[in-house]
């Protein structure tokens, strides 16, 4: 009961963040202020440390991209491909990751607090030290991630297994 309440509350918080009247361009790296990231081909791009807050990134190809330590808070990713991407230490807090393919991605030390990972593909991902506190996951994803959950997030201090609620 408490987990379901937390998931609903997380979903409401994500919606609130996404619909606040903020100027997303002002919080985005100058490299991407005017560039549309819908259907963008960013495969093999070095986006490490970039600030891409509150962006819509749909149908984008991020295969092999380096998004390590990127700030992606409050962004919406829909049907994008992040196969073999380096997402080490990326911050996905309050991010919607709908239908994203993370096959073979490095999500170690990533922060996915209050993220929504509906229909995301998490095959062969490295989640060592990732923080999934209050993340919304499908049952299959939950079971899959709990089987491989290890480590503690260096920034939040939360153990991956604890953040997932693995028993």
- Considering the domain 1-18+40-167 in this protein, what is its CATH number? 2.160.20.80
Cβ partners under 8 Å of residue 106, min gap 6: 68, 85, 86, 87, 88, 125, 126
- Maximum mean pLDDT: which of 7-11, 26-30, 99-103: 99-103
Higher local confidence (pLDDT), 26 or 81: 81
Predicted pLDDT at 167: 80
pLDDT tens-digit map of 80-115: 999 999 999 999 999 999 999 999 999 999 999 999
DSSP secondary structure of 132-158:
-TT-B--HHHHHHHHHH---B-TTT--
Q: pTM of the full predicted structure? A: 0.81
pLDDT tens-digit map of 51-75: 999 999 999 999 999 999 999 999 9
Distance (Å, rounded) from C-alpha 113 to C-alpha 129? 13
């Amino acid at each position: 009961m408490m987990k379901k309440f937390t998931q609903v509350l997380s979903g409401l918080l994500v919606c609130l963040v996404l619909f606040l009247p903020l100027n997303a361009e002002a919080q985005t790296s100058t490299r991407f202020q005017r560039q549309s990231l819908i259907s963008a081909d960013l495969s093999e791009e070095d986006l490490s440390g970039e600030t891409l807050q509150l962006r819509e990134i749909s149908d984008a190809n991020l295969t092999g991209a380096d998004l390590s330590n990127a700030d992606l808070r409050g962004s919406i990713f829909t049907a994008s491909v992040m196969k073999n991407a380096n997402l080490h230490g990326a911050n996905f807090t309050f991010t919607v990751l709908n239908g994203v393919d993370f096959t073979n991605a490095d999500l170690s030390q990533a922060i996915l607090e209050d993220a929504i990972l509906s229909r995301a593909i998490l095959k062969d991902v490295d989640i060592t030290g990732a923080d999934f506190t209050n993340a919304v996951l499908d049952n299959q994803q939950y079971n899959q991630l709990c089987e491989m959950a290890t480590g503690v997030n260096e920034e939040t201090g939360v153990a991956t297994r604890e953040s997932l609620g693995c028993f």
